[in-house]
Amino acid sequence: MIILAVARIAVAFLAQTSLEAIGGQYPDMAPTLVYVSFALLAWAVLFPAVLFLPTRIEMAVRPVILLIDFQLLMVIVALLRQLELPALGATLILLWAVHERLGRTIATMIAGGVILLVLLRHHYEPWGMHAFRSDILIKIDGATVLIGCLGALALMGVMVRRGHLQHWADRLQAVGGNMHSLPTSALLEELSRIGDARKVGLIWRNLDNGEVRCFAWDSGACDTPSLPDALVSELLNSRIADTPFLFNRQSEEVLVRNSIGTLRFRSVPELIEAQSRIFGMAYGVGFPIAAGDISGTVLIETRHGWTAGALDQLVSIQEGVESFFERFYFLSAWRERSFAEARQALSRDLHDSVLQTLAAMRMRLATMRGQIEGQKPIDITRDIQDLEDLVIREQAELRALLNESARTVHERQDLVARIRQCAVTASSQWGIDCHPLFDQDEILVSRTIAIQVEFLIREMAANAVQHAKARRLSIAISVADGHLMIAFRDDSGRRKGEIPLTDDGKELIVQSRSLTQRLTSIGGRAYFDKLDKSSLLSIQIPITKDRSSI
């Protein structure tokens, strides 16, 4: 408001100087122009006295003064063409004051009036088109520069305040993103810092279970005050629970903005009484919060002077606090989902390794029991030894799975050596001949790709034995155009070129949900080569841009 007062005095001084010059050319109008000049100066000088009026009187008088300012500036723009630039500069400062005091709607209407006047300026003959003396023109240029500097200073002040609030909000988000439990104490400390406050109150209700929580910050100590049900209802269900407000314990009214942005006092004695009994604040500001499943109110004991600027800053602080809660709950949900996906991945790996091995052991033990019961002269010592070795290998595999978090994800591994070992394990598991074929002596891929390919081979070996009754499984692996190509063939020689059928007579397709999920996780795809009757499944996996590194 000080900047607007200075701009008003500068424009009034220029208007007086211009009217004196015009009065010299029109002697009959000179006395009237003198009165108008002194009236403008009196208006400009007496305006700052409004700042010392009581709050209620100042709130009622200030809008009238701003509207009169607008009318006077528009008259100057219309009649005195030489003062057009300084008057328009003062009008821009006035628009900011109107926006702050009367809201965006009225400020937009006034801006529309200014634009209309500027557009019509060439359709009428202004009054003050006379050539002024050089000394008057110098004064006009100086005042124009002064008003421009005042506008720039006001803009810089706004940008500095917004930058300070944005820095505070960013720091608050960092606090909310590094905790496994809601850091209420840190939030209250940041609120006390931004408001330079000794006391801060926070109360919210969980909309899912109805739980109410309350925290009070007093001189660096965080406490949880007792909450009578009546006081909780008065704080959370107040008539102004949806907008920021300024309050004072000596008054039963709070200062808010109405629906069009104009400042208004509203009577809420129950809210003032409730906060006084719970938090004991003599004055301060408050705003609602609504984020996720919570709805509540924040109260900060800070001096505000019943200014519109304090309300505008509250909006930025409110957005920062709501983002704090939303970020915390989002990260909490993300962590829970990550844990759930990790558990699912581990269970899938156990299914495709340990459980498949147990299933193979069960089948081989059933075969051995049949041999013993049939009293066939077959030495099963070697089979028992193979099963024992298989159990030892699976124990090592299980330990490796449980220790997967300690491995380096981006480590490169030789896929050829890993698949050869996997083929030996599959052969031992199912009592088949699993034979891998490679077009290169060494294939380096990421650890994630190597692990997923190993589990794909184990899954396919199990499906080939259980569904296609395969006894000899060939696995051809090659690299082409940045992709890993894997082809599974049943070389048992028992199918005679016929497509295997399921029990209900349908064409057998070897696939599983686990296999599909693994391929999706690494960007691979599976397809069938129907020209080769021995083909079970073909897989293509990109290895130039490994998804595991994303």
pTM of the model: 0.60
End position of a domain, from candidates 333, 359, 392: 333
170 inside domain: no
403 inside domain: no
pLDDT value at residue 512: 66
Nearest 5°: CA angle at 102, between 242 and 290? 15
Separation CA 327–CA 316 (nearest Å): 16
**3-state percent breakdown (helix, strand, coil) of the chain, nearest 5:** 60, 15, 25
End position of a domain, from candidates 164, 198, 220: 164
Q: Are residues 259 and 159 in the same domain?
A: no
Q: Are residues 207 and 327 in the same domain?
A: yes
Among 114-123, 439-448, 498-507, the least confident range: 498-507
365 inside domain: no
Q: Are residues 146 and 195 in the same domain?
A: no
Size of the chain in residues: 550
Q: What is the pLDDT of residues 334-392, one digit of tens each?
A: 777 777 776 666 666 666 666 666 666 666 666 666 666 655 545 666 667 676 677 66
Domain count along the chain: 3
Q: Are residues 91 and 238 in the same domain?
A: no
Among 92-96, 128-132, 256-260, 476-480, the least confident range: 128-132
End position of a domain, from candidates 164, 196, 224: 164
Q: What is the pLDDT of residues 97-142, one digit of tens each?
A: 888 888 888 888 888 888 888 888 777 666 655 666 777 778 888 8
Q: Are residues 304 and 425 in the same domain?
A: no
Between 356 and 506, where is the model more confident?
356
Q: Where are the beta strands (DSSP E) in 250-319?
A: 253-257, 263-267, 283-291, 294-300
64 inside domain: yes
Q: Are residues 421 and 546 in the same domain?
A: yes
CATH number at residue 433: 3.30.565.10
Q: Are residues 418 and 327 in the same domain?
A: no
185 inside domain: yes
Separation CA 94–CA 70 (nearest Å): 7
In terms of residue numbers, what domain contains 128?
Answer: 2-164
Among 83-87, 253-257, 393-397, the least confident range: 393-397
pLDDT surpasses 60 at 501: no
Between 9 and 283, where is the model more confident?
283
Q: Are residues 26 and 51 in the same domain?
A: yes
Q: Are residues 103 and 199 in the same domain?
A: no
Phi first, then psi, for residue 410 (nearest 5°) are -90, 10
512 inside domain: yes
Instruction: Identify the helix (H) or strand (E) that includes residue 19.
Output: helix 2-25
Q: Are residues 75 and 106 in the same domain?
A: yes
Q: Are residues 501 and 459 in the same domain?
A: yes
Q: Are residues 143 and 206 in the same domain?
A: no
pLDDT surpasses 70 at 408: no
CATH number at residue 211: 3.30.450.40
Location of structure tokens 């208006």: 43
394 inside domain: no
Neighbours of 458 (CB within 10 A): 23
Separation CA 255–CA 101 (nearest Å): 12
350 inside domain: no
Separation CA 296–CA 289 (nearest Å): 5
